[in-house]
Amino acid sequence: MTVEETQVAEVVVVSQEEAEKVVCENEKVVEGDDKVKEVDEAESKPKTIEKSSSYKEESNYLSDLKEFEKKALNELKSKLEEAILGNNIFKKEEPKKEEEQKDEKKVAEEEEKKEEKTEEAVKTEEVEKTEEVGKTEEVKTEEEEKNEEKAEEVCETKTEEVAEQKAEEGEQEKKSEEGYEVVDTDISLWGVPLFPGKGFEGTDVVLLKFLRAREFKVNEAFEMLKKTLQWRKESKIDSILDEDVCADLSSAAYLNGVDREGHPVCYNIFGVFDNEELYRKTFGNEEKRGQFLRWRLQLMEKSVQKLDLRPGGATSLLQINDLKNSPGPAKKELRIATKQAVGLLQDNYPELVAKNIFINVPFWYYALNALLSPFLTQRTKSKFVVARPAKVTETLLKYIPAQEIPAQYGGFKRHNDSEFSAEDGAASELIIKAGSTGTVQIDAAEVDNTLVWDLTVLGWEVNYKEEFVPTEEGSYTIIVQKKKKMGSNEGPIRNTFRSNEPGKVVLTVENNSSKKKRVLYRYKAKKCFTG
């Protein structure tokens, strides 16, 4: 079973030497894609941020499939159609023995007699009460008459319901005797009809996921699909979005924005479980762990709803797993719960994750036990990316645009941002050579405009300042942000300036280090309205 589509990973401790070796090897992969040719003077000019060249979802167009893949897809569709028409998708309940059927029939008859006796007793009691009241009172009140009418209506309703139930049971028995079964061709998965005869364009996309998860082995893919459908039916997954489970875990995992290819991004924050109270509330006993699993499956279903399960659409997720401050290996309850989640998600949501990125990975702690398994294919390993704390922003930028990366990870996305929106366009990038100075100039030609900007430097360790330079000679330069040495842990900067005269805002970055620096920035001007 592949594991790239899992929403969580089991935490495993390895020796520091082994962990360092694996993490460093993965970082080499990350850095290898990030290598830039030696810069010249032209590198100081703004340019568009480059994305990872190896990040491409596999095509779901029939014309792009290899011959053996097309053949496997057609075989799977044929098996699926035959199974649906033969009502062989779901497990059939084993026929009950004749003695059990007789016992059940006897019990049903006794229950029916009890109901009839109860109804007769109720009627008799009502009649006796009516006669008794009639002896003492000559005229009934309107309220008593209404109560009597209601009692009669209840009796009639029960009689009708019993008759309808018997008729329905008789019809079912008749169908069973005749060997007649109604064929359900409306079977679907993730909102996509599975019956090939319906000709829905998303059917091939879903089936290809199961085929890819089983290396295009048709029989194995078919069995996996059947087990998934059976599990969803037994676990009532189709109604899980209506459930209210684990509201306290909203900060532990959530969807936030899209990546460069349009994939929804899901963030898994393991550090929240460092809180002992929340940890016990989530994993304290088997029942609570069960609720955690239910919540995790619910989030997966929400994620799937954001996918475009059609050829050419974004049919998988990008996952970010933040291991900062994650609980240590002694937390066995977390290991048990995450192991269960891994099993459920990898068995029932195949090929739904495009990349699994682990960030803030410490040397002494390793979360990718599957990566060490000799059973994983190269295809599966290629979906894992590991980044230590110093490489978080740089790694995420390969897959997610700066304006979609949350500010806590070095990007420009802020909760309920009133300044920038998705329509404001992408961020720009500036490369500053070692020992050089770079500037970003924001035009402020019109007066009464408010300028707002975001800026960050990967790794910082630079000197930074902001100033407004007027166009008119003789006017004074205004210091917006005095020169300051920025440490490596500095977050993205956001600032604003209202211009009362024509000029420009100049953002200056002095790189006194021995390495080149990448500067990301964006800005916009807003007209000020005065009353």
Q: Using an 8 Å Cβ cutoff, are 334 and 279 in contact?
A: yes
DSSP string, 23-46: HHHHHHHHHHHH--PPP-GGGGS-
**Of 456, 448, 412, the residue nearest 430 (C-alpha):** 456
Q: What amino acid is encoded at 232 in this protein?
A: R
Q: Using an 8 Å Cβ cutoff, are 309 and 267 in contact?
A: no
Question: What pLDDT does residue 79 have?
Answer: 97
- The 8-class DSSP code of residue 349 comes to S
State how far the Cα of 489 lies from the Cα of 223, in Å rounded to an integer. Answer: 50
The residue assigned the tokens 């995992």 is 253
The residue assigned the tokens 């009464």 is 448
Question: What pLDDT does residue 156 have?
Answer: 59
Q: What amino acid is encoded at 117 in this protein?
A: K
Task: Give the residue ranges of DSSP H helices in 387-519.
Answer: 392-397
Question: What pLDDT does residue 252 have?
Answer: 94
Residue spans of the chain under pLDDT 70 = 1-55, 93-182, 328-329, 363-380, 528-531
**Of 403, 457, 431, the residue nearest 46 (C-alpha):** 431
If DSSP codes are grouped into helix, strand and coil, which group holds residue 142? Answer: helix
Q: Which two tokens stand for residue 402?
A: 């700066």
Q: How far apart are the first and last CA of the chain?
A: 66
Question: What pLDDT does residue 116 have?
Answer: 60
Looking at the whole model, is its pTM more than 0.85?
Answer: no
Question: What pLDDT does residue 378 have?
Answer: 65
State how far the Cα of 222 lies from the Cα of 210, in Å rounded to an integer. Answer: 8
Question: What pLDDT does residue 141 have?
Answer: 53
State how far the Cα of 363 lies from the Cα of 232, in Å rounded to an integer. Answer: 39
Residue 139: phi, psi to the nearest 5? -125, 130
Question: What pLDDT does residue 154 have?
Answer: 52
If DSSP codes are grouped into helix, strand and coil, which group holds residue 268? Answer: strand
**Of 465, 453, 466, 456, the residue nearest 518 (C-alpha):** 456
**Of 467, 455, 464, the residue nearest 519 (C-alpha):** 455
The residue assigned the tokens 């008119």 is 472
Q: Which two tokens stand for residue 422?
A: 């998705």
Question: What pLDDT does residue 503 have?
Answer: 95
What number of other Cβ atoms are within 10 A of residue 432's Cβ?
23
The enclosing H or E element of 207 equals helix 203-213
Tell me how far CA of residue 508 lies from CA of 76, 430, 438, 519, in angstroms.
60, 12, 6, 11
Q: Sign of dihedral through CA atoms 347, 349, 355, 361?
A: negative
State how far the Cα of 420 lies from the Cα of 426, in Å rounded to an integer. Answer: 11
Residues 6+ apart with CB under 8 A from 56: 261
Phi-psi region of 416 (alpha: psi -120 to 50; beta: other; left: phi over 0): left
Question: What pLDDT does residue 322 have?
Answer: 95
The enclosing H or E element of 264 equals strand 264-269
Q: Which two tokens stand for residue 432?
A: 């500053």
State how far the Cα of 447 lies from the Cα of 10, in Å rounded to an integer. Answer: 57
What number of other Cβ atoms are within 10 A of residue 208's Cβ?
25
